Amino acid sequence: LDVKKDWSDHALWWEKKKTWLLKTHWTLDKYGIQADAKLQFTPQHKLLRLQLPNMKYVKVKVNFSDRVFKAVSDICKTFNIRHPEELSLLRKPRDPSKKKKKKLDDQCEDDAFELEGPLITPGSGNIYSSPGLYSKTMTPTYDAHDGSPLSPTSAWFGDSALSEGNPGILAVSQPVTSPESLAKMYKPQALLDKAKINQGWLDSSRSLMEQEVKENEALLLRFKYYSFFDLNPKYDAIRINQLYEQSKWAILLEEIECTEEEMMMFAALQYHINKLSIMSSENHLNNSDKEVDEVDAALSDLEITLEGGKTSTILGDITSIPELADYIKVFKPKKLTLKGYKPYWCTFKDTSISCYKSKEESNGTPAHQMNLRGCEVTPDVNISGQKFNIKLLIPVAEGMNEIWLRCDNETQYANWMAACRLASKGKTMADSSYGMEVQNILSFLKMQHLNPDPQLIPEQINTDINPECLVSPRYLKKYKNKQITARILEAHQNVAQMSLIEAKMRFIQAWQSLPEFGITHFIARSVG
């Protein structure tokens, strides 16, 4: 080709076999290419319209010849998101209830949410790296208190166009703008709809071109695997915010079920986060030259990493394994049974629960014994009704054995629930995460408490609450807006003292505590 151009990014694409010819030392004959084969000489890096978990679109230049796993890793490096293995790409689901619209209308709808771009992933030409994450000495990039950037925006977004005009847009929560925008979004109506969403996940072991992804096509970047490792407020403000956004939209679009009390708690947290996000943005503009003391930052980071663990606690974990022993009401649900809960003296040792008819018989043979390793643990809690149940599905030779445990109070429930969750993973109460799990459960319950003497709130504050943007449609139909607003303000008193990053973390932890969290639906067909 008599054209002066850098062709280093171009490669041959065999459309018929859906294959990139990247092994330049191979001959065409070795690939099995005949004289009549049609090959396309095309750039490997192409533009992709990416919808982030916060529902914002951004154009990213991605390598279409890399496996999806590598492409996602490069995208996350561009956005300064650690642990890219937690995310993947998803095709946009189609709403079957709506009539087909013109492509122009869809394009306009998407462009309304679009950020500035495009961004360049590593290896796409203009390479940059974030010094706060990929340098040898990892320095704090964000304030652990409110998640605001500590360094100038260019240090954590490089020279990308995203840093112009909207600094920190990915680390700052964006409130739902209007009920109309929420109404336009796809909401799964049944389990089949939820399963159809999961049909859109791309194969991580194949490239984008192999899966017929076109240039400028819109794909969704989402957290796919519900196990989030080492969420650190100092380095993960963007990751935490995007995770918060994904959990927020999952609740608003009813992709995951929650009770009425939980919904009001989530709405109160959203309202609190929206207020603090506005304040944080204003403070950041006034204090853009804030400096970080490296020693204090390192000590704070070490404290967060150790999760407040003390030496005596760690030594105690090594020498002895904690046990639980208390009266617990046990129920075995069966068809056509009228029997209720029976009180037993239960002891929790290692990963097993032993049930005795009384405390005095605890040295003898237990009436029932169950090993919780590999079981399913589901909470069944109603704060106003003082119901603290733990539902267990225990694998046995005949299938699954269902057992319900009823606790008397929140403290007992938190201790036993945390022990059951760890035991289901094969861990004991000696694990360092047990204390943190108990505290997370207690704080989750505390946030759902109703305040008997709500403080008088000025009327002007009520005007900035839009229940239609904070609560799922199911509860909007059940109550009037004034009733929902009053309940949100009442629940807000339990979270009003939280910092911005703490509120986001509590929201994520509460999302993780929901019974349906981590359950993914797929369509399965049996053959034969």
For residue 41, the model assigns a pLDDT of 92
Nearest CA to 384 out of 265, 510, 247 is that of 265
The per-residue pLDDT for range 225-235, each reduced to its tens digit, is 888 888 888 88
Query: What burial class does residue 130 get, using C-beta atoms within 10 Å of its C-beta: 0-12 exposed, 13-18 middle, 19+ buried?
Result: middle
Q: Tell me, yes or no, whether 303 lies in a domain.
A: no
Do 37 and 132 have their domain in common?
no
Q: What is the pLDDT of residues 10-24, one digit of tens each?
A: 999 988 888 999 888
Q: Do both 238 and 265 map to the same domain?
A: yes
CB atoms within 10 A of CB 217: 15
> Do 243 and 228 form a contact (C-beta atoms < 8 A)?
yes
In angstroms, the CA 472 to CA 80 distance is 31
Asked whether residue 340 falls in the same domain as residue 264, the answer is no
Domain boundary residue, one of 265, 292, 319: 292
Residue 305 within a domain? no
Q: Which parts of 284-427 are beta strand (E)?
A: 324-331, 342-349, 352-356, 368-371, 376-382, 387-396, 399-407
Asked if residue 33 and residue 51 are part of one domain, the reply reads no
Last residue of a domain, one of 245, 260, 292: 292
Residue 157 pLDDT more than 70? no
Which amino acid, one-letter code, is at 140? P
Same domain, 287 and 400: no
**Secondary structure letter of residue 264 according to DSSP:** H
Measured CA to CA, the distance from residue 261 to residue 379 in angstroms comes to 14
- For residues 141 and 23, membership in a common domain is answered with no
Smallest Cα–Cα separation from 88: which of 218, 222, 247, 228?
222
Q: What is the Cα–Cα distance from 193 to 120, expressed in whole angstroms? A: 34
Task: Tell me whether residue 341 is in a domain.
Answer: yes
Tell me if residue 34 falls in helix, strand or coil: coil
Q: Which residues contact 423 (CB under 8 A, 6 or more apart)?
A: 348, 350, 351, 352, 372, 373, 375
Task: Give the Cα separation of 323 and 473 in Å (integer).
Answer: 44
Domain shared by 147 and 88, yes or no: yes
Judge if 349 and 376 occupy the same domain.
yes
Q: Which two tokens stand for residue 396?
A: 């046995």
Secondary structure in 3-state letters for 485-511: HHHHHHHHCCCCCCCHHHHHHHHHHHH
**Structural domain includes residue 3:** no
Whose tokens are 């915010």? That residue is 241
CA distance 519 to 380: 16
Residue 113 has pLDDT above 80, yes or no: no
Q: Which residues sit opposite 149 in a β-bridge?
A: 142
| 444 located within any domain | no
Domain count, the chain: 3
Q: Are strands 324-331 and 352-356 parallel, antiparallel or unpaired?
A: unpaired
Q: Is residue 366 part of a domain?
A: yes
pLDDT band at 289 (very low <50, low <70, confident <90, very high): very low
Would 456 be classed as within a structural domain? no
Average pLDDT of span 293-305: 60
Q: Are residues 316 and 278 in the same domain?
A: no
Calpha distance 272→470 (Å, rounded): 11
- pLDDT at 391 > cutoff 90: yes
> pLDDT digits over 347-371, tens only?
999 999 999 999 998 888 999 899 9
Question: Model pTM?
Answer: 0.76
Among 118-132, 193-207, 397-411, name the one with the lowest average pLDDT. 118-132
Q: Could you tell me if residue 66 is inside a domain?
A: yes
Range of the domain at 135: 47-292
Instruction: Flag whether pLDDT at 442 surpasses 80.
Output: yes
